[in-house]
């Protein structure tokens, strides 16, 4: 990013359209993409409804692929992809070496056969092309506050049940360490160039409890297809004040429960 250009207000952009706990995570992730080199054509694996890309990038990405038709139709309103494709990321309809870079934001943790998807991303990327993604890591489940409280009370089985429940509602299949991801990446022809952890346990507490405090927003979404009825700054002021300590450079932390990866297809 141009050092003389002020950084966009990613937190504000997300808060106007998403529940606050999702806004906090996505806004921080948007910051990480600024300044990264992503040569065209760019592929977004698991592009969903296009909201994240529309907030993060100030120019259209070339292709978004996702298996779900509803989110893909919704993504058209943002105009952030030159082409959207409905398809399985484990068997993508693109020729070998079609793309100059790829991203996948908070998607790979939901895919059962993630190795097949990594192999396909490797196949469609040009040699030396960057692949950037982020996922929850091995600290995510142990750091959940309700689970930890139950453990301290001598109720570890109940704590484990809670962690399994939260993992289920989060639709997580993989919450793995960088070592596990590095082995997967190497097996698919990627070189890990950099990674960092973000959102410490105190920030995860905001995200965790947001799933429960945010239930009224879910009702609003079911009825109106919007997460908020009023998106004025005054309506979001208190929420922003409470979560802003976990937004910005300080979110990168050794004990962070998510990990951002910068990798490259082997030449």
Examine the pLDDT at 201 and tell me if it is beyond 90. Answer: yes
Instruction: Tell me the pTM.
Output: 0.91
229 vs 266: which has the higher pLDDT: 266
pLDDT, greater one: 95 or 4 = 95
What pLDDT sits at residue 234?
A: 54
Over residues 120-160, the pLDDT tens digits come to: 999 999 999 999 999 999 999 999 999 999 999 999 999 99
- The stretch 204-217 carries a mean pLDDT of 79
Closest residue by Cα to residue 28 from 15, 17, 37: 15
Largest CA distance in the chain: 55
Q: What CA–CA distance (Å, rounded) separates 253 from 132?
A: 19
| pLDDT tens profile 32-81 | 999 999 999 999 999 999 999 999 999 999 999 999 999 999 999 999 99
Q: Would you kindly state where each structural domain of the chain is located, as residue ranges?
A: 10-140+175-265
- CATH fold for domain 10-140+175-265: Rossmann fold (3.40.50)
- What's residue 227's pLDDT? 47
Distance CA 220, CA 15 (A): 15
Confidence of residue 105 (pLDDT cuts 50, 70, 90): very high
Contact (Cβ atoms closer than 8 angstroms) between residue 94 and residue 72: no
Q: Average pLDDT for residues 21-29, to the nearest whole number? A: 95
Sign of the CA dihedral with 162 first, then 252, 247, and 228 last: negative
Lowest mean pLDDT among 32-41, 69-78, 99-108, 234-243: 234-243
In the structure encoding, which two tokens stand for residue 86, read together? 């409905």
C-alpha count within 13 angstroms, C-beta hemisphere, residue 192:
18
Specify the pLDDT at position 69. 94
Do 22 and 44 touch, CB atoms closer than 8 A? no
- What percent of the chain shows pLDDT beyond 70? 90
Would you state the structure tokens that stand for residue 179, as one six-digit string? 């070592």
Q: Which pLDDT band, with edges at 50, 70 and 90, does 213 fall under?
A: low
């Amino acid at each position: 990013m141009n050092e003389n250009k002020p950084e966009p207000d990613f937190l504000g952009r997300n808060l106007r359209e998403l529940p606050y706990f999702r806004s906090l995570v996505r806004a921080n992730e948007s910051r990480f993409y600024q300044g990264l080199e992503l040569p065209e054509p760019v592929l977004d694996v698991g592009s969903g409804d296009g909201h994240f890309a529309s907030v993060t990038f100030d120019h259209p990405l070339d292709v978004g692929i996702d298996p779900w038709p509803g989110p893909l139709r919704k993504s058209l309103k943002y105009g952030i992809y030159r082409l959207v494709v409905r398809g399985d990321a484990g068997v993508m309809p693109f020729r070998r070496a079609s793309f100059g870079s790829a991203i996948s934001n908070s998607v790979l943790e939901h895919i059962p056969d993630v190795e097949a998807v990594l192999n396909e991303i490797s196949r469609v990327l040009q040699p030396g092309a960057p692949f950037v993604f982020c996922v929850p890591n091995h600290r995510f489940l142990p750091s959940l506050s309700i689970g930890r409280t139950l453990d301290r009370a001598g109720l570890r089985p109940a704590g484990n049940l809670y962690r399994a429940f939260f993992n289920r509602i989060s639709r997580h299949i993989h919450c793995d360490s960088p070592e596990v991801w590095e082995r997967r990446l190497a097996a698919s022809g990627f070189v890990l160039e950099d990674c960092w952890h973000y959102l410490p346990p105190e920030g995860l507490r905001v995200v965790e409890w947001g799933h429960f405090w945010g239930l009224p927003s879910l009702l609003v979404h079911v009825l109106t297809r919007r997460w908020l009825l009023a998106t004025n700054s005054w309506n979001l002021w208190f929420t922003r004040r409470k979560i802003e300590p976990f937004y910005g450079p300080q979110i990168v932390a050794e004990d962070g429960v998510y990990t951002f990866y910068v990798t490259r297809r082997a030449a």
